[in-house]
Amino acid sequence: MRRLALPSEDELVDRLITLWVPHEDIDTAISLLPRLKESSELSSLLEGRAAALIDDIGVLHDHSESQMYLPALGDEFDSLGRYFYLFVFLLVLPYAEEYFEKHGVPPEIRRRTLADLGGNMAENRLWFGEGGIQDPKWLSLHFRGMLYSLGRLQFERSRIGPSLLWKIQGLADAVEEREAVLFIHIPRFAGPLTSPACSLSLDRASNFFTRHAFGDDYRIAICSSWLLDVQLAKYLPASSNILSFQRRFGNTLTSLGTDDAAVRFVFGPSGVTPEIWAGMSTLERAIIDHRSAGGEWRRGAGWIRLSD
């Protein structure tokens, strides 16, 4: 029988540190713990959301539905609403660890993968100026055993659906609808996107998903990102890490439409300010010059065979 119980205050601190939760968020989380334990309504809601995630651990979905719908709490819950899903993930954690153990996922990969929770909270504070979790859907992938950090890149287990199958050049000739594939994600704050680092991640992915017997054969890896916008070649030197990464996808690169993520990703929530203009990198200036000239950045997508 499943038993979901919030940790004690001491246990909470240990788990938050393990998940790399920023220290400035730990005191707030501790202060909210009694409120959750004393309210039967909140406890029931917390357990319900956690149970839904636990039931979905290891279940492979179409990519369009791979991130679960996890509705936010209303504004009336103030700081508790922002931290609510932190406690949900803490309830799910033992079951995620059990799944990792079953499939022989090494401790260092577990640690690096789940540490994305703390990184997400740090980025949330950078973007919004307050603590908590703004996008629990993304983090649900980590705790459901769907996403793994393997060096510079992250890899998400999924199934290819019709929404992408026919949109990316040549993909329909390489995979069948509903076939298991990996989606490549490029996290922020993980170091330069160098060719050796990316090659190592891709090699690790090819071996990792075969070795740990998740029940599917992963032959194809897909990436969809503004970093694959072919327009970047107009502004960046051929030796740039970004263009080197693009070349991995050969002639499969396809535009999937406009995307504002380039500005958000590069400049963060404050946008472009006069103070940073003089010190802009080549990429930063490219982002702005293209927009100033009336251009729009687009989300590119491509695929590779993992054996390549």
Q: Residue 271 pLDDT > 80, yes or no? A: no
Residue of 287, 296, 238 lying closest to 265 (CA atoms): 287
Looking at per-residue confidence, does 54 or 291 come out higher? 54
pTM: 0.91
pLDDT tens-place string over residues 44-86: 999 999 999 999 999 998 877 666 678 777 776 778 889 999 9
Alpha-carbon span 93 to 146, nearest angstrom: 14
Give me the percent of the chain exceeding a pLDDT of 70. 92
Per-residue pLDDT band at 289 (split at 50, 70, 90): confident
pLDDT tens-place string over residues 174-216: 999 999 999 999 998 888 999 999 999 999 998 899 888 788 8
Mean pLDDT value across the chain: 89
